[in-house]
Amino acid sequence: MGGLSLAGLGIGTGYLATVDVTGTGARREGDASADLTAWVNITPDNTVTIYVPFVEMGQGTHTGLAQLVCEELGLDISADNVRVTHPHEEMAVYTNWTMFLDERPEHMSGPMHWYAKRFMGSMKLSATGGSTAMVASWSQMRRAGAVARHMLQQAAMQKLGVRSDALVLQHAGFRLADGSAPLSFGDLAQAAASLEPPQDVDLKPPGAFQVIGKPVRRIDTADKITGKARFGIDVRLQDGLFATVRRPSVLGATISSVDDTKARSMRGVRDVIVHQDAVIVIADNTWRAFQAADALDIDDEPPGELLDTAQMIAGLRAGLDGQDLSQQYVSGDPKAAIASAARRLDVEYQTPYLAHATMEPMNCTVLWRQNGSVEAWVPTQSAAMARQAIQSLGANEDVRIKVTYAGGGFGRRAEKDFVTYAAVAARAHAGTPVQLVWSREEDMRHDVFRPASIARIAAGLDKSGALTAVDATLATHSVMASYLARNVDGPAGFGSDRTTLEGLRDMPYDVNNRRIAACEIETAIPIGFWRSVGHSNNAFIVESLMDECAAASGRDPFEFRLAHLGDRHARHKAVLETLRDKAGWRGNGGDGYGRGLALHASFRSIVGAVVDLRVGDDKRIVLEKVTAVIDCGWVVNPLLVEAQVQGGMNFGLTAACFGQIDFAEGRVVQDNFDSYEMLRLDAAPDIEVHLIDSADLPGGVGEPGTPVAAPALVNSLFAATGERVRRLPIATAGYSI
């Protein structure tokens, strides 16, 4: 592993050494506090602030990453004098994806390669996504705490005139071994900040962990329960204005004219601004802005052929028929193996377009000063992306992004559109803060959608029922192509999008003959990152296929999967065997009672799940229980892992049961939760989560619980009813919750 630069926390050279800080070494602050590395600030009253450079949007990032620092500093994270927050805007904190790319190139290629090298690297992009917060911080946050501890210890040694072995570390301080001469970190911080950070420092061995691995309660829970926590939508600045946005109802349409006469005459309305594809209404409160936006008469110019769901699905099918492949990976001779198979299966799976539907709608508050400097309060997954969006509108270099709590993200807050519209409104009213909030309808109609997909698969089984060949072609849209075109001045041709086939190309089952291919169809629909990205489609495809093959061979779904996991996938086997035991598997049911299984690896973690359900004669489903097992490597906080698997599972079940975005004459049909349903408390199952005890390096936990939900659900429906659902959501097959 790499050491530490004199400027602060440096780039490491080993696995996960991805967080980089420049120009933020130890220093005294004007408020008499001291920064010891970029991550730790200590005030004279012994308040220790830990900076976490990933947005807290419900996943527990602020708690889990702070535990890493607290471990090395000997801090009690629940103590009143320990604070955790996002870094202040002057810190050049970013995830060094370039280093990550160079070390583990198998995880990125094509557009991701370009994006990492040209944009994320050069822009020093701090981004929360891809379940990377813990993965990227495991070594570096611990190292930051260890460096701060070393510097404080050196200051204590100088003050007391003793050697290091005479000092005992206690919460936020040191004392002598006999209990005398207690010194708080606050007493030592100023002196420590004048010292040179060490080039190298020892980290605690796992056997000495006292904070890492412990079920620490979330530090943000109390503030969220009492209403003290400030989400983006809670920001209130003195004399501020409020705004909303309205875009053409037809996707991709341009605005030809706007009649804002009625809107401008309404009480409290201050301004109406047309900016490219949007009309922004500014008023003295959000409700009046919403009412005025509804009163606008907008004429738009459609983009040409109007989007329709049936046409879009037909386009995907045409791609499959034409076999104009953008990616193809072949091993063995799948064509010959299928031709000679004792049994052949030909199946087709279909998934719909999906919205993000974050509970906190898109919002941003901006203060654009007369001198061109800007402050923005925003629940964003990328502060650097927000800063770039504002600077592109003419702000000077002094753009400060203050990241708030976010009420869900799921990839939607990695976009810059909601920041851009707020900044345009604030620029027109320089000197006055403006908060722009999207209505739920606008949020849903103008989301960036999870792509639909159709997979056409032929599979061959031998006489013993073993899977010998898979020939799969997936038709969908490229997330990266759409994202880069919308957010970055990307290259015209940037290669393949690995997210398209993730989880399908690298399916863990031993099949000697396989062909995995993709047709990435161009579309005018804005496509974006959605929780678990390509895995959300492909786990459904792979695990449905494995269940169908198990049924065709007359074998138990667990045993069939275990038989096809080779020696290279010991972790998968351990998850599967643990799941079988924890779920008390005794067959997959029948006569209206079903148990369904799914196993999937994503973001360096492996999750297995069993769904127990009952189906009535009217096809009404009762979700009784989900048993899940996860191997995410070293567990920093088991409570956070459990909560994320539960949240990811409910997110995936919601999509599998109800989720579907339709298009009619270029417009999104669904526009609120009455037409885009959520899984409600009274219908949600009990979710029991078991963690594999592992000493492997950490994997992600924010997303891996989502992909297994849909296949486990449809496999349980098959066990209960004998009906195989190959198209999501299950509502299209007449099922209800």
Per-residue pLDDT tens digits for 308-344: 999 999 999 999 999 799 999 999 999 999 999 999 9
Let me know whether 673 and 704 are in one domain.
yes
Let me know whether 577 and 710 are in one domain.
yes
Backbone angles phi, psi at 99, to 5 degrees: -65, -45
Identify the domain boundary among 437, 459, 492: 437
Residue 692 burial (CB count, 10 A)? 18
Exposed e or buried b for every residue in 712-735, given b needs 16+ CB within 10 A?
A: bbbbbbbbbbeeebbebbbbebeb
Decide if 2 is inside a domain: no
**Residue 94 exposed, middle or buried by CB count within 10 Å (0-12, 13-18, 19+):** buried
CA torsion 272-275-276-280 (nearest 10°) is -50
Decide if 1 is inside a domain: no
Decide if 442 is inside a domain: no
Let me know whether 725 and 587 are in one domain.
yes
Q: Read off the pLDDT of residues 384-397 as tens digits, 9 standing for 90 and up.
A: 899 999 999 999 99
Let me know whether 64 and 193 are in one domain.
yes
Confidence band (pLDDT; 50, 70, 90) for 259?
Answer: very high
Q: Read off the pLDDT of residues 507-550 as tens digits, 9 standing for 90 and up.
A: 999 999 999 999 999 999 999 999 999 999 999 999 999 999 99
Residue 322 burial (CB count, 10 A)? 11
Let me know whether 463 and 509 are in one domain.
yes
Confidence band (pLDDT; 50, 70, 90) for 140?
Answer: confident
Let me know whether 208 and 69 are in one domain.
yes
Please name the residue that has the structure tokens 């920093």.
636
Is the model's pLDDT at 98 over the cut of 70? no
Element counts in the chain: helices (H) and strands (E): 19, 31
Q: What is the predicted pLDDT for the residue at 642?
A: 98
Domain that holds residue 143: 19-226
Tell me the DSSP string of 614-641: EE-TT-BEEEEEEEEEEE-SS-S-HHHH
Positive or negative, the CA dihedral 60, 66, 71, 74 is negative
Let me know whether 486 and 546 are in one domain.
yes
What rounded mean pLDDT belongs to the chain?
90
When mean pLDDT is compared across 99-103, 129-133, 367-371, 718-722, the lowest value belongs to 99-103
Let me know whether 222 and 349 are in one domain.
no
Q: Which residues contact 492 (CB under 8 A, 6 or more apart)?
A: none
Q: Which residues contact 132 (CB under 8 A, 6 or more apart)?
A: 18, 95, 603, 700
Is the model's pLDDT at 409 over the cut of 80? yes
Q: What is the DSSP letter of 122?
A: T
Decide if 253 is inside a domain: yes
The order of strands in the sheet holding 605-615 is 589-590, 593-602, 605-615, 621-631, 686-691
Identify the domain boundary among 400, 415, 437: 437
Give the pair of three-digit tokens for residue 270.
Answer: 């201050």
Q: What is the predicted pLDDT for the residue at 126?
A: 59
CB 585 within 8 A of CB 499: no
Beta-bridge partners for 242: 283, 435
Let me know whether 506 and 398 are in one domain.
no
Decide if 499 is inside a domain: yes
When mean pLDDT is compared across 21-25, 368-372, 425-429, 509-513, the lowest value belongs to 21-25
Give the pair of three-digit tokens for residue 586.
Answer: 């005794």
Let me know whether 314 and 403 are in one domain.
no
List C-alpha distances in Å: 26 to 192, 324, 333: 8, 56, 60
CA 537 to CA 287: how far, in whole Å? Answer: 38
Q: Read off the pLDDT of residues 609-649 as tens digits, 9 standing for 90 and up.
A: 999 999 999 999 999 999 999 999 999 999 999 999 999 99
For residue 163, the one-letter residue type is R
Identify the domain boundary among 197, 226, 255: 226
Residue 202 burial (CB count, 10 A)? 10
Q: Which helix (H) or strand (E) holds 651?
A: helix 638-657
Confidence band (pLDDT; 50, 70, 90) for 26?
Answer: low
Nearest to 220 by CA among 87, 85, 382: 85
CA 340 to CA 344: how far, in whole Å? Answer: 9
Beta strands in 496-580 (DSSP E): 513-520
Decide if 10 is inside a domain: no
Q: What is the predicted pLDDT for the residue at 93?
A: 43
∠ CA 286-288-289, nearest 5°, is: 60
Decide if 38 is inside a domain: yes
Between strands 19-22 and 92-95, the pairing is antiparallel
Coil, helix or strand at residue 408: coil
Q: Residue range 684-710: average pLDDT?
A: 97
Count CA within 13 A, CB hemisphere, residue 163.
Answer: 1
Global pTM?
0.92
CATH classification of the domain holding 277: 3.30.365.10
CA 194 to CA 192: how far, in whole Å? Answer: 5
CB 328 within 8 A of CB 473: no
Decide if 14 is inside a domain: no
Let me know whether 341 and 460 are in one domain.
yes
Let me know whether 318 and 459 are in one domain.
yes
Number of domains in the chain: 3
Confidence band (pLDDT; 50, 70, 90) for 470?
Answer: very high
Nearest to 326 by CA among 148, 497, 448, 184: 497
Q: Read off the pLDDT of residues 186-196 as tens digits, 9 standing for 90 and up.
A: 999 999 999 99
Is the model's pLDDT at 20 over the cut of 50? no
Q: What is the predicted pLDDT for the residue at 491?
A: 54
For residue 282, the one-letter residue type is I
Beta strands in 478-573 (DSSP E): 513-520
